[in-house]
Amino acid sequence: MALAGSATAGGRRRARLRSTAMAIARFLVVVALTYLGLLAVTFFIGRVIPVDPVLAIVGDRAPSHVVERVREELGLNLPLYQQFVIYVGKALTGDFGISVLTSNPVMTDIRRVFPATLELATLGTLIGAFLGVPLGVLAAVRRGSFLDQVVRVIGLVGYSVPIFWLGLMALLVFYARLGWVEGPGRIDVVYEYTVTPVTGILLLDTAMQGEWEAFRNVFGHLILPASLLGYFSMAYISRMTRSFMLTELGQEYVVAARAKGLSERTIIWRHALRNALVPLVTVIALSYANLLEGSVLTETVFSWPGLGLYITDSLQNADMNAVLGGTIVVGSVFIGLNLLSDLLYRVLDPRTRAR
Amino acid sequence: MSMTRMPIRTPMTAVKNLVARGLTRRGLLGATAAVLIATTSPVVLAATPKDTLVLAWAIDDIITLDPAESFEISAGEIMGNTYDRLVRFDVADPSKLYGDLAESWTVSEDGKTYTFKLKPGLKFASGNPLTADDVAFSLQRAVKLDLSPAFILTQFGLSKDNVEEKVKKIDDLTVVIETDQAYAPTFVLNCLTANVAAIIDKKLVLEHEKDGDLGYAWLKTNYAGSGPMKIRDWRANEILALERNDNYYGEKAKLPRVIYRHVKESATQRLLLEKGDVDIARNLSPEDLAAVEKNADVAITNRPKGTIYYISLNQKNPTLAKPEVREAMKWLVDYDAIGETLIKGIGTVHQTFLPMGLLGAIDEKPYKLDVAKAKELLEKAGLKDGFSITMDVRQTQPVAGIAEAVQRTFAQAGIKLEIIPGDGKQTLTKYRARNHDLYIGQWGADYWDPHTNADTFARNPDNSDNAASKPLAWRNAWDIPELTKKADAAVLERDPAKRVEMYTELQRDLLKTSPFVIIYQMVETAGVRKNVEGFVLGSTSDSTYVFRVSKN
């Protein structure tokens, strides 16, 4: 009996190992398929749109023999499937080709523009989460109160006001009129060449190099667009928090906790919020991913050289290598954040760990 | 609560009204900015560094810094400030030439040999001496690489195979260029003012040569010139920084640094300009210009450019091929209204194919909106009840607005115009394949000689589908053997006065018969802060000289 018992325990451990391995394998397959799908869809869309990609490279004035030569150099005279295979092959080695617009390898460009977006999106999400979650909780607890109304109006405005308009208004008030913050762009021209880019995240770069004046300037440039993005993600997060909290507060365990005589504060912040946090992680991750895609309109208004602007500019110029590269990055961000929120699930919800 | 709500209310209704009036996003931004700036006048001033000129400009068209390849508007300006060439034209009077690197030049009796004497003691920014060797190398390199602008040089008979014989160094200060025909000397010299004829540092470029590419890969993002400024840094779609070149032969640049900041949105440029965070804003929309004009700290400067905007009629369409229809359409554009609204501050009405400023350009405007006359013509063509037609339109201003205006005036004569919206590359792809009915577009002079436009508007040597050269006349399937001959003769005419006469005649011919409804000539406008001195826009993109600018 004892023997059999230990055998089943070992078997269970092995079974669990196997299931974990299976889960990882399944995850990898899904990721690989997602990437392939992403590549295929963007690649074929890029090729069927009625725009001549050679035109983007040589311009309207090029004589026809130059056009033909470039077409051949790019392999655009090959059948589509062959072009695709070549493209995927190169992409696997990390070569996404050269951007027509910037003459740089696409990956070099993305390494330059992505930190700008990352910096903005991270600060924006931090602002959104740190304000949005408490606001949502309070609104749920005092449902129907004046505070609840305020949160709902904030959410509504965040949903309905176009961001470029709000961005321009914010610039006019806080930059032009009050002079509290710096204007469009990431850094003043004066400081432009005082810091050497290491991470590309200027707050980090300036801090690491001890350029505190430049740091202040960078922060001054960053705070307005980040607050704006933060406001929009706050609007979303607070609304979702409110509804998750309402569900949790109606649960029986809350009644039980109250009956046990726990303080209202403990019930709300330690028990109900803890449970609401699980779906909230997904919400925050999604809103973060959205910002990481690059908010084109914000980046346009604030002349912010980020990913959104890069992809849009490339798209408008039929610079398909850059568009494809950018799409892969955005895809990776989504996949990565999904994975991260899955992991966080396991931390936050013990039940998922057992399974 | 009041904080979130209050500022939203009233402007929102204003915004809705604007949307209802069909303004674009850009226009909307500008208009809202106008409303707000008007109400928030006392502006806290920032300032750019005293020794640096900062310009806000949409520089996303720059794709290379190699003069042998660069053909874009903003890149042109960079090349003009950082590279020298044998000759340049006078910014004040573009029909006059002066020696840049060349001290003097002569043309042989038979008109086929050009001999240039260089100024002594020239040096590149790198410190390398600049000799006839570099001049010959630069021109040979441009021809050998054979990139988009190379035709400016190859059109007078230079080719990959013969260029080493045709462009030769005689001694350290003498270069000879041989052409295949006796062209008008003004034509050849004008072509040599173009960016593609810029002189590059042979030694430096060849140090970076890879697989015999003549330094092509390296020079795309680097600098090897001798101009008054040198390129310090270029981050595409972000910033381009120029620095004074202390090795420059002439008067040194007034400011040690010039920085171009990529700013796309007109409203943002205006904010930066009024706030003093940039000294010059280059892409202000008509609405923003009107508003900036009222600012006491800002002056407006402008200059007609070599770009004209036109509507063209594809002659493959039998209706559009009728001469009466071609003429009728010229009577169906409300030039005055367009001039006073849609292109105010950014264009001036112009109807001939040579933009003002080019040798021989005439400013005749025979056409105005005359619906009765157009109807008469259509009746003559047997189209009394009008017809339906499409037009491919790029969705940018002012082109989209002009298309809508034309749609309304066409309707008055019974022509039903359907607008097919698209982006620039899309409509252009269709146009280049001759698949359009009507197309609205622009054409900028490639180099500063009338032949550049005659070559494309008035020449069509081969109208077949797979012709070697595909000028605008070809794109509209306009078969014109007679005019082609005339244009060919004009480029060979060595008497300048006679040459002018020939272009005058060509322009009048095209005014009457061509399938091109030319509407206006572009005017470039910039908002400049009052403490900036000496900023003059050039007629071509490569003649706006920031090295002559100073600041108080």
The CATH number covering residue B152 comes to 3.90.76.10
Average pLDDT, chain B: 88
Condensed to tens digits (0 to 9), the pLDDT of residues A45-76 reads 877 777 777 777 777 767 777 788 888 877 78
Residues B398 and B502 in one domain: yes
How far apart are alpha carbons A73 and A67 in whole angstroms?
A: 10
Q: From the list B37, B52, B469, which residue is nearest A189 (CB)?
A: B52
Q: How confident is the model at residue B30 (pLDDT cuts 50, 70, 90)?
A: very low
Facing B239 at nearest CB: one of A154, A190, A192: A192
Question: Which of 69-128 (B) contact A at CB < 8 A?
Answer: 71-72
Least reliable range by pLDDT among A293-302, B120-129, B306-315: A293-302
* Closest chain A C-alpha to B118 CA, distance in angstroms: 31
Average pLDDT of the segment spanning B236-263? 93
- Per-chain mean pLDDT for chain A: 83
pLDDT at B162: 94
A256 to chain B, closest Cα gap in Å = 36
Continuous segment of H or E residues that includes residue B244:
strand B239-244
pTM (two decimals)? 0.80
Q: Are residues A100 and B262, on separate chains, in Cβ contact within 8 Å? A: no
Q: Among residues B209, B240, B262, which one ends one of the domains?
A: B209
pLDDT tops 60 at residue B423: yes
Q: Which of residues 149-178 of A touch B (CB under 8 A)?
A: 149-150, 153-154, 157, 161, 164-165, 168-169, 171-173, 175-178
d(CA B144, CA B124): 22
Supply the pLDDT for residue B138: 97
B117 and B65 in a common domain: no
Mean pLDDT, residues B361-380: 94
Compute CA distances B509 → A326, B104, B458, whole Å.
51, 38, 9
pLDDT digits (tens, 9 = 90+) for A120-152: 999 999 999 999 999 999 898 888 888 888 888
Residue B9 lies in a domain: no
Segment B458-486 shows an average pLDDT of: 92
List the CATH number of the domain containing B313: 3.10.105.10
CA distance B242 to chain A (A): 12
Residue A150 is assigned to a structural domain of this protein: yes
| Beta carbons of B7 and A168 less than 8 Å apart | no
Position B34 scores a pLDDT of: 46
Domain match, B70 and B95 both: no
Of the candidates B29, B35, B249, which has an alpha carbon nearest to the alpha carbon of residue B125?
B249
The reply to whether B361 and B372 lie within a common domain is: yes
Q: What is the pLDDT of residue B512?
A: 93
Structural domain that includes position B269: 44-81+227-297+530-551
Compute the nearest-CA separation of B372 from chain A (Å). 38
**Predicted confidence (pLDDT) per residue in B312-353, tens digit:** 999 999 999 999 999 999 999 999 999 998 888 889 999 999
What percent of chain A clears pLDDT 90, i.e. is strictly above it?
Answer: 9
Look at residue B39 and tell me if it is in a domain.
no
B3 — contact with chain A (CB < 8 Å)? no
Q: For residue range A175-184, what is the model confidence (pLDDT) as tens digits?
A: 888 888 888 8
Give the residue from A221, A223, A198 showing the smallest Cα distance to A209: A198
- Nearest CB to A185 within list B261, B468, B470: B261
Say yes or no: B380 contacts chain A, CB-CB below 8 A: no
Q: How confident is the model at residue A354 (pLDDT cuts 50, 70, 90)?
A: low
What confidence category does residue B4 fall into, taking pLDDT thresholds of 50, 70 and 90?
very low
Record: contact B268-A302, CB cut-off 8 A: yes
pLDDT-based confidence at B18, cuts 50/70/90? Answer: very low
Shortest distance, CA A165 to any CA of chain B (angstroms): 7
Choose the most confident range, by mean pLDDT, from A25-39, A271-285, B175-189.
Answer: B175-189
CB pair distance less than 8 Å for A103 and B236: yes
The reported pLDDT for the residue numbered B46 is 59
| Domain housing A343 | 106-352
A109 touches chain B (CB under 8 A): yes
B185-230 pLDDT, tens digit per residue, is 989 999 999 999 999 999 999 999 998 899 998 999 999 999 999 9
Share of chain A above pLDDT 70, in %: 95
Would an 8 Å CB–CB cutoff place B267 in contact with chain A? yes
Find chain A residues with C-beta within 8 A of B146's C-beta: 66
For residues B43 and B509, is the Cβ–Cβ distance under 8 A?
no
Q: For residue B473, name the pLDDT band (cuts at 50, 70, 90).
A: very high
Element (H, E) at A354: helix A350-354
Question: What average pLDDT score do residues A100-116 get?
Answer: 85
Residue range A185-193: mean pLDDT, rounded: 80
Top mean pLDDT of A89-93, B70-74, B422-426, B523-527 is at: B523-527
For B369, what's the count of Cα atoms within 13 Å in the CB-facing half-sphere? Answer: 17
A100 contacts chain B (CB < 8 A): yes
- What count of Cα atoms within 13 Å lies in the side-chain half-sphere of residue B393? 21
Are the beta carbons of A305 and B237 separated by less than 8 Å?
yes
User: What pLDDT score was predicted for residue B45?
Assistant: 54
* pLDDT value at B483 more than 90: yes
| Same domain (yes/no): B464, B430 | yes
A312 touches chain B (CB under 8 A): no
Residue B88's pLDDT is what?
93
Check pLDDT > 90 for residue A92.
no
Q: CA–CA distance from B347 to each of B17, B350, B408 (Å)?
A: 27, 9, 21
| Interface list for B 39-58 with A (CB within 8 A) | 40, 42-44, 46, 48-49, 52, 54
Task: Tell me the chain A residues in contact with residue B63 when contact means C-beta distances shorter than 8 Å.
Answer: 57, 100-103
B200 φ, ψ to 5°? -115, 160
Residue whose tokens read 């409509």: B427
Does B370 share its domain with B448?
Answer: yes
Does any domain span residue B417?
Answer: yes
d(CA B279, CA B529): 5
Q: ipTM surpassing 0.90, yes or no?
A: no
Q: How many domains, in total, are found in chain A?
A: 1
Query: Are A305 and B148 inside 8 Å of each other by CB?
Result: no
Q: Do A176 and B271 touch (CB under 8 A)?
A: yes
Give me the residue from A104, A112, A301 closest to B265, CB to CB: A301
User: Pick from B46, B239, B425: which is nearest to A318 by CB?
Assistant: B425
Say if the Cβ atoms of A165 and B15 lie within 8 Å.
yes
pLDDT for A163: 82
Q: Are residues B484 and B358 in the same domain?
A: yes
DSSP codes joined into one string, B374-422: HHHHHHHTT-TT--EEEEEEESSTTHHHHHHHHHHHHHHTT-EEEEEEE
Does B44 have pLDDT greater than 80? Answer: no
Q: Are B382 and B328 in contact (CB under 8 A)?
A: no
Asked if the structure places residue B56 within a domain, the reply is yes
Instruction: Please indicate, yes or no, whether residues B164 and B278 belong to a single structural domain of this protein.
Output: no
Chain A partners within 8 Å of B267 (Cβ): 168, 301
Q: What's the pLDDT band for B26 if we cut at 50, 70, 90?
A: very low
Q: Does the pLDDT at position B38 exceed 50?
A: no
What is the reported pLDDT for B7? 31
**Is the model's pLDDT at B125 over the cut of 70?**
yes
Q: State the maximum Cα–Cα separation within chain A, in Å, rounded to a whole number.
A: 88
Comparing B98 with B36, the larger pLDDT belongs to: B98
Looking at the domain assignment, is residue A259 inside a domain?
yes
pLDDT > 90? residue A157: no
- Give DSSP secondary structure letters for A155-171: HHHHHHS-HHHHHHHHI
B261 contacts on A by Cβ (under 8 Å): 185, 189, 303
Say whether residue B430 is in contact with chain A using an 8 A CB cutoff.
Answer: yes
Using an 8 Å Cβ cutoff, are B547 and B254 in contact? yes
- The residues in A 185-214 lying below 8 A from B, measured between CB atoms, are 185, 188-190, 192-193
State residue A325's pLDDT score: 86
Residue B436, pLDDT score: 94
Average pLDDT over residues B256-280: 91
The pLDDT of residue B8 is above 60: no
Please name the residue of chain A whose CA is at the shortest distance from the CA of residue B472: A61
Does any domain span residue B504?
Answer: yes
Question: pLDDT value at position B10?
Answer: 31
- Residue A10 inside a domain? The answer is no
Nearest-10 crossing angle of helices B323-330, B496-513: 100
Of B5, B46, B236, which has the smallest distance from its Cβ to A101's Cβ?
A: B236
Nearest CB to B264 within list A58, A189, A300: A300
High-pLDDT (> 70) share of chain B, %: 92
Residues B336 and B462 placed together within one structural domain of the fold: yes
The alpha carbon of residue A135 is apart from the nearest alpha carbon of chain B, in Å, by: 14
Partners of residue B151 in chain A, C-beta under 8 Å:
63
Residue B98 reports pLDDT greater than 50: yes
pLDDT value at residue B546: 94
Residue A183 forms contact with B (CB below 8 Å): yes
Query: In the A/B pair of chains, how many CB contacts fall below 8 A?
Result: 163
Residues B55 and B89 occupy one common structural domain: no
Question: Which residue has better confidence, B172 or B26?
Answer: B172
Residue A321 with chain B: CB contacts under 8 Å: none
Average pLDDT over residues B127-131: 96
A335 to chain B nearest CA, in Å? 28
Mean pLDDT of A237-251: 89
The 10 Å CB-count burial string (b at 16+, else e) for B385-413 is eeeebebbbbeebbbbbbbebbbebbeeb
Q: Are A304 and A186 in contact (CB under 8 A)?
A: yes
Q: Is the Cβ of A76 closer than 8 Å to some Cβ of chain B? A: no
Lowest mean pLDDT among A119-123, B14-18, B28-32, B154-158: B14-18
Cβ atoms of A224 and A174 closer than 8 Å: yes
Q: Does A318 score more than 80 pLDDT?
A: no
Instruction: Write out chain A residues lying below 8 Å of B150, CB-based.
Output: 66
Only one residue has tokens 């019930």, namely A267
Domain count, chain B: 3
Q: Are residues B459 and B541 in the same domain?
A: no
CB contact under 8 A, B32 and A161: no
Distance from the A227 Cα atom to the nearest Cα atom in chain B, whole angstroms: 14
Question: The CATH number of the domain where A167 resides is what?
Answer: 1.10.3720.10
Please tell me if residue B321 touches chain A, with a CB cutoff of 8 Å: no
A337 part of a folded domain: yes
B378 and B413 inside one domain: yes
Is the predicted pLDDT of residue B32 greater than 90, yes or no?
Answer: no
Judge whether B417 and B389 are in contact, CB under 8 Å. yes
Whole-number Cα distances in Å, B280 to A42, B276, B277, B287, B301: 39, 9, 9, 17, 10
Which of B160, B238, B439 should be substituted to probe chain A, the one whose Cβ sees the most A Cβ atoms within 10 Å?
A: B238
Q: Could you tell me if residue A73 is left (phi over 0), alpha (psi between -120 and 50 degrees) or otherwise beta?
A: alpha
Nearest CA to CA, how far is B448 from chain A (Å)? 15
Distance from CA of B346 to the nearest CA of A (A): 22
Percent with pLDDT over 90 in chain B: 68
Q: Do A305 and B238 touch (CB under 8 A)?
A: yes
Residue B275 is nearest to which of A164, A175, A193, comparing CB atoms?
A175
CA distance B132 to B305: 33
